A and B are shown apart, each in its own frame.
Chain A
Amino acid sequence: EDQVTQSPEALRLQEGESSSLNCSYTVSGLRGLFWYRQDPGKGPEFLFTLYSAGEEKEKERLKATLTKKESFLHITAPKPEDSATYLCAVQAGTNAGKSTFGDGTTLTVKP
């Protein structure tokens, strides 16, 4: 059974204070690892897809990395508008595109 564990559950940062979110996973044949951002009361929005160990993706202040067992979402010099819940999900190779999600990390950035 595919499993995704995210840590920490909640993270409070001061504006400009860089940090990382962790996503540990077990999956039979990784097809892709995904990061989504979710604002309160809204549906998740896609951020990144990572396919193989060593891969990195960047977007503005966010950078996602992938190893064989975990992924990190690095946030550099965050701003208050980066406050949201960040969800990690994995897709296995033969499962009709079903994604297994972690419980998320809720990030709060104080000005």
Chain B
Amino acid sequence: SQTIHQWPATLVQPVGSPLSLECTVEGTSNPNLYWYRQAAGRGLQLLFYSVGIGQISSEVPQNLSASRPQDRQFILSSKKLLLSDSGFYLCACKLPPGQGNEKLFFGSGTQLSVL
């Protein structure tokens, strides 16, 4: 089983300020890692995914970026936050291909409010 540590739980930031959300994973090596954003009452929108160190794919054009400096570390960043960046951010991981069930394990999420 995978355990995902994600912090902080709640964050209030002014427009134009920088952002850094960190996620670390305990468990298997070389997991696939994902950042999702969830608007209130909606499903999850995939923002970024990574299949290995330094490998980042972006799903939607946006004000955010992601990095994977270590195998089990995934970081979501912004240089200048916009009001539209508000939302519930979730880090998730999946076992590498061929290692079993394709299900996602999720962190506890960060509720970001940009004011």
Contacts and interface: CB of A to CB of B under 8 A. Distances in A.
Interface of A: 4, 6, 31-32, 34, 36, 41-46, 49, 87, 89, 91, 96-104, 106
A36 B106 CA distance: 10
B94 interface: yes
Interface string B99-113: 001111111110100
Interface stretch (B13-21, B36-44, B66-74, B79-87): B36-44
20 contacts: A6-B43, A41-B109, A42-B108, A43-B4, A43-B6, A43-B92, A44-B44, A46-B104, A49-B103, A89-B104, A96-B32, A96-B57, A97-B94, A98-B46, A98-B49, A99-B44, A101-B44, A102-B43, A103-B42, A104-B41
A41 B111 contact: yes
Contact of B106 (A6, A45, A91, A98): A45
A99 B104 contact: yes
A93 B5 CA distance: 29
A78 to B, nearest CB: 21
A49 B105 CA distance: 13
Contacts of A98: 34, 46, 49, 59
A34 B45 CA distance: 16
Nearest to A95: B49
Contacts, number: 65
B43 A96 contact: no
A42 B38 CA distance: 11
Contact of A49 (B44, B46, B101): B101
A45 B107 CA distance: 10
Contact of B104 (A34, A41, A96, A103): A34
Nearest to A47: B103
B108 A99 contact: no
B51 interface: yes
Interface in B42-68: 42-46, 49, 51, 57, 59
